[in-house]
Amino acid sequence: MNDFVKKIKQVKNIDDAIKILALQIELTSKIEEAIDFAIKAHEGQFRKSGEPYAVHPILVAAITAAISNDETMVIAALLHDVVEDTPYSLEDIKKRFGNEVALLVDGLTKIIEIRDEELIRSGSNEKLIKSAMTFRKMLLISIKDLRVLVIKLCDRVHNMLTLDS
């Protein structure tokens, strides 16, 4: 696992990210279509590190694939930021990749919406309780399909691996 993490931390371009993904799961035509779609959707976007933004969802998909070879999860991981960060809608995802992928992406989007609107940072007991209840809501949303939670955790892992940027 350490070698896998080291490889992920070294990736700075889309081609290398795709190579790591390909080591984790067979790049089926559906996965390749999702890769191409994610790259197109995030075209012109860059992370704080300066790398193309599409590197992030591809590596999140690689981490997801290391945990599960569920093609639908990997595709949802590739598309997890598309609805939030690009002009594409959930309906676009549904039309192109199907209802199951759209449901996972929607679940990931709902977690972000809840977090942004409701999590409170403070030492007070009232605010701590509200934050705990919000976290509970996030978990309940993901329980509809636990794959949402797995993808979100993979997203967090990649973000933590790139904290130096």
Residues marked as catalytic: 84-85
- Please give the C-alpha separations between residue 91 and each of 35, 99, 140, 151, in angstroms, as whole numbers: 18, 9, 23, 20
Task: Please return the burial class of 41, using the count of CB atoms within 10 Å of its CB with bins 0-12, 13-18 and 19+.
Answer: buried
CA distance 29 to 55: 19
Residue 79 and residue 2: Cα distance in Å, rounded?
26
What whole-number distance in Å separates Cα of residue 74 and Cα of residue 6?
Answer: 21
Closest CA to 59 of 44, 72, 78: 78
Contact 47, 162 (CB under 8 A): yes
- In 3D space, the residue among 126, 125, 149, 151 whose CA is nearest the CA of residue 137 turns out to be 149
Residue 52: strand pairing partners: 46
